[in-house]
Structure 1
Amino acid sequence: MGKQLEIEIKVGLFVTIGIALIMVAILVLGSSENFLERKHTYTVHFKTVEGLIPGAKVVLGGVQVGTVKAVRLNPKERDIEVELSVSDESSEWIREDSRAEIATQGVLGDKYIGISPGTTDAEHLKPGSEIPVTSSAGLTQFISKGDQLMVSLNRIAGSLDNLLKSFESGNRADTLAKGMASTAKNLASASEKLNRELDHLNLKSSMANLNAILSKINNGTGTLGALVNDPGLYDDAKSLMGGVSRNRVMRNLIRQTVRESEEKSASSPVTAKEKR
């Protein structure tokens, strides 16, 4: 009975260990990389890894060629060092002009390292070397810029809302109306001052012309000046005007006498018979 129990325990342990080994083998063989394949290590330095974790894919030209072996901080360079494990066959494609970047599988997929194949003219990059990086606009940067854009749009919308509220409440309208009234008042005042200046200038010009005319008269220039300053001309003119006036009076008296005489002759009957 004791031997039977001992045999069952040994068989159970053997089966358990066998199952464990099979599971480990499945996990190892089911991984993306060949466990027995020769690997080469490369390093890449980033300012931020944006959630990249060990075990992530390393893709060369769209084909997975390895995995991320480690992600650690680098105090000397003050950045993050990413260690890559790449297959020996794929390492032949990694040249000095190759570039590495952190990419995303899909919009919200896992992070992975993408390497661009180098040209045949460039030298082969030796294992253990550092692969230069290229800056890529990741989803995190887009989200960050989108947040900044939304903040700016919210500020603009707030300013427009305050402006509309001010106009609706009448504050802006009153201020605008007051400003226009003040401007109109200033224009009216300026126009009035300008008119006064123009009137003043015209008055000055008229006075100057009048003074010039009076000066000519006093100096005896012209007909009016001669009449004023020469007494003889004044007397002659007076005599002439007087003669004209007397001649007019005499003509009027003669005309009046003839008219009265004709009227008397026409009204007398005796004179009419004598004429017949």
Structure 2
Amino acid sequence: MKRRDEVLVGIVATVALVLGVIGSLLLARGGLTSGYPVYSVFAWGSGLRPGQPVLFSGVTVGYVGDVSMRRDGFLVVEMRIDKEYQLPTTTTARIVPNGVFGDMMVALTVGGMTEDDFAVGDTLPAGPPALGIGDVLARVDSIGRDVQSLTTGLNQELVQNGGLAELRATVRNANVFLTELTRIAQAQSAELSRTQAAVRKVVSAVDSAVVDSTVKALSGAATAMGALATDLQATTQQLNGVLAKLEGTEGSAGLLLNDPGLYRDTRALLTRLDSLTADFQRNPKKYVKLSIF
């Protein structure tokens, strides 16, 4: 009786284990529904295997049905999509990490809304793969190696080659230079203070009375120059008036300068006077009679 119970328990446990395995496989492959197939092509080493989920905008819409390798370095991935979901023709497929343990999945991303959908058996274009934990760790390792190389170089230059001692000597020389520069600045400041004091002394020694008298004399000279300028302006106006009259026919001078006939008469009179003078010099008795009683 006891042995029969043990056999029954073993059978039940075996059946439960088989059912659990079958249920896990069914869940991994989308349950009892197979869906319609679509395909995409990825490079080798993508980490995909059958049963991994397929997400469409964050919603699980299917699973990876099959993965086949080609000789050109690519994988042909069959995805089984539930029949209730339709994929627009702007959809791209990417392989992204699924958790932190290295598991992967396919993420479908829509590039834009459209009325056209992929048909059964179509091939979806593949997008760039996302960075996984392995890629991040590889980059961290690369950065660590670069930091180690930099540290080694600094140790070589600063410690082993005496660079640190040279740096300290440079700092000491800079301190000496700054001290000397401070001393020179203080000396120049004192000299400038003495120069300012001497200038103040010279300025204070100037007699204010002499300055006032000089200013008054200059003011009087400026007044006299103003009066002289006024007189010169009046004289200039008078000369302008005389010149205007001479240029016109007003007055005797204007007539003499501007009347041609008067000019000719004057020239004729002068000619006759010259002739009379010459005749008088030649024959004075003709004009002067002298008798003595």
What is the TM-score normalised by the length of structure 2? 0.45
What is the TM-score normalised by the length of structure 1? 0.48
